[in-house]
Structure 1
Amino acid sequence: MIRTIIIDDEPLAAGIVQEFLAEFSQFQVLEVCQDGFQGLKAIQQHKPDLIFLDVQMPKITGFEMLELLDEPPAVIFTTAFDQYALKAFDAKAMDYLLKPFSQARFKQAIDRFLESRMEGKESERPNADLHHFAEKSNRLVVRVKNDIKIISVQDVNFFEAEDDYVTIHTAGGKFLKKMTMKTLEESLDAGKFARVHRSYIINLNGITGIEPYERDTYLVKLKGGEKLPVSKTGYARLRQVLGL
């Protein structure tokens, strides 16, 4: 049996997926979830082969939920918003069903999944980094042990690169999120955040001063007392955004 979970805050839409899926005897629906929190818990508990995932849901979006999974299952997105299609396929979704979709269109998505499964295309699993082509973010969702924390970007003092992760430094503590500095930088408002070094992105509102350090480099001082290195390129960027 192919183990499946449906995650959609609209009961009618979830019911349609269940109805259409009932035509395929090899699929077993393990659980139907109404938001990303429930979906995350169900995925961690059941380890499904495939999920049907809405994008816009209460609490956290479908994309944010996927970011919290170390090994996401195969995904077929179901949504009423076509502007997320590019991001969905960049995340290597199996398919993207735009509501309201027909039973024939649903069957196409299932056939695509089954074909991929037969061919053993593990590369079709979602990417861990789902921020490419994303709209500017005003929040970050991180997993803290068994809990989920939503952090407003305006509460971030600075970001620090940690291999394949980013450490989010706030007044309330440090939080680790799996993503790259490049995609993080693309998702932030360039008028509020600046990448001053290959390892650091700072909140411009937290700057208290800039001082020379070594040849062609500087240190930026933040409200929390931190002093972070500023590269030559980063200094030029700071001068531009701060009007120095």
Structure 2
Amino acid sequence: MIKTIIIDDEPLARSIISEYLQHHPDYEVVAECNDGFEGIKAIQIHKPDLVFLDIQMPKLNGFELLEILDEQPQLIFTTAFDEFAIKAFEKNAIDYLLKPISRPRFDQAILKFGTGYQQALPNSTPAKITESIEAEEQNLERIVVKNGAQIKIIPVQQVIFLEAYDDYVKIHTKDGMFLKNKTMSSFEKQLDPKNFIRVHRSFMIRVDQLSKIEPLEKENYIATLVSGDKINVSKSGYARLKQTIGM
């Protein structure tokens, strides 16, 4: 049996997918979830072969769910809008279904998955999926991180500065530091440039957290934040900072 999970905040959408799957006896629905938090737990418990994943959901949306997963199952996305997401996922997911979902279109997606499943085709990693989103998504409003067994949602207004750390980024907030498996370049593309400036290859600061900036050596500078943290500022970073805050 092909283990399947449906993650969608709309009961009608879950019901339709479940009903359509009854016409495919090789598929077993092992869980139905109405938000991203339930979806993550279900994926960890059941380790499904296929997930029908809605994009726009309360609490934790489909994009954020993917960022949290360590291993990603095969995916068929479902969405009622957000055309940019459809374009982004065409190359990374098995398929996408635009609501309202018709039976012929659903069967086409199942056939598409069945071919890949039989050939054991690997799906894209969560990192590749999220990289596709980043080209379209801007002005990030919150950052979702995995904090031990818990999931924490950090509004960007609570971020003091970001620090590159190998393959991760340290997110410094008043509540402490959190690690995110993402690149500084990704954050640079997604965070509002009016509020966040990359002042060094290893640092990005929230502009309103800057207290003062002083020369260091050889056209390098040191920035002091309201929190008291000292941040290295490169020549190019200093130029960006000057341009943004009108120094």
Which of the five TM-score ranges fits, normalised by the shorter chain?
Answer: over 0.9
Paired residues for 1:189-208 under 5 Å: 189-208=192-211
Structure 2 letter corresponding to 1:215: K
Corresponding position of 1:222? 225
Change (3 A) 1:57 1:174: same
Q: 1:128, CA displacement in angstroms?
A: 5.4
% identical equivalent positions = 50
Corresponding position of 2:157? 154
Deviating more after overlay: 57-66 vs 115-124: 115-124
Alpha-carbon displacement from aligned partner over 1:88-136 (angstroms, at most 9, x marks no partner):
336x111111101211111111111111222332144543561422132
Q: 1:87, CA displacement in angstroms?
A: 3.0
Corresponding position of 2:138? 135
Partner-residue secondary structure (3-state), 1:106 = helix
Take 1:195 and 1:129, find their aligned partners in 2: how far apart are those partners? 24
Structure 1 letter corresponding to 2:189: E
Q: 1:80, CA displacement in angstroms?
A: 0.3
Corresponding position of 2:62? 62
> What TM-score, normalized by structure 1, do the two folds share?
0.95
Structure 2 letter corresponding to 1:113: F
Deviating more after overlay: 122-131 vs 184-193: 122-131
Is the contact made by 1:73 and 1:125 (CA closer than 8 Å) also made in structure 2? no
Paired residues for 1:165-204 under 5 Å: 165-204=168-207
Alpha-carbon displacement from aligned partner over 1:173-230 (angstroms, at most 9, x marks no partner):
0111111111111110000000011111100000001111120211111011111111
Is the contact made by 1:70 and 1:128 (CA closer than 8 Å) also made in structure 2? no
Structure 2 letter corresponding to 1:218: Y
Paired residues for 1:87-102 under 5 Å: 87-89=88-90, 92-102=92-102
Corresponding position of 1:115? 115
Change (3 A) 1:166 1:241: same
Is the contact made by 1:193 and 1:203 (CA closer than 8 Å) also made in structure 2? yes
Corresponding position of 2:42? 42
> What TM-score, normalized by structure 2, do the two folds share?
0.94
Partner-residue secondary structure (3-state), 2:242 = helix
Alpha-carbon displacement from aligned partner over 1:111-164 (angstroms, at most 9, x marks no partner):
111112223321445435614221321111111111111111011000111122
Partner-residue secondary structure (3-state), 2:110 = helix
Take 2:88 and 2:62, find their aligned partners in 1: how far apart are those partners? 11
Corresponding position of 1:212? 215
Take 1:8 and 1:30, find their aligned partners in 2: how far apart are those partners? 14
Partner-residue secondary structure (3-state), 1:109 = helix
Is residue 2:78 matched to residue 1:75? no
Take 2:3 and 2:37, find their aligned partners in 1: how far apart are those partners? 19
Is the contact made by 1:93 and 1:125 (CA closer than 8 Å) also made in structure 2? no
Q: Which runs of 5+ in 1 are unaligned?
A: none
Change (3 A) 1:238 1:199: same
Take 1:127 and 1:73, find their aligned partners in 2: how far apart are those partners? 13
Corresponding position of 2:12? 12
TM-align CA RMSD: 1.4
Take 1:202 and 1:125, find their aligned partners in 2: how far apart are those partners? 29
Alpha-carbon displacement from aligned partner over 1:42-98 (angstroms, at most 9, x marks no partner):
1111111110011111101111011100111111111101422123336x1111111
What is the number of residues matched between the two proteins? 243
Partner-residue secondary structure (3-state), 2:217 = coil
Is the contact made by 2:69 and 2:126 (CA closer than 8 Å) also made in structure 1? no
